[in-house]
Amino acid sequence: MESIIEDILKDEFVEYSKVYESAKIKGMSKKEVREVKQRIGVKTICVANGEERIWLWYIPKNIWNRYSQKK
CB 11 within 8 A of CB 22: no
Residue 69 pLDDT exceeds 90:
no
Please report the pLDDT score of residue 70 as a whole number: 60
- Domain extents for the chain? 2-68
- Rounded Cα gap, residues 20 and 5, in angstroms: 9
Terminal CA-CA length for the chain? 33
DSSP 8-state class, residue 12: S
For 31-67, write each residue's pLDDT tens digit. 999 999 999 999 999 999 999 999 999 999 999 998 8
- Rounded Cα gap, residues 12 and 10, in angstroms: 6
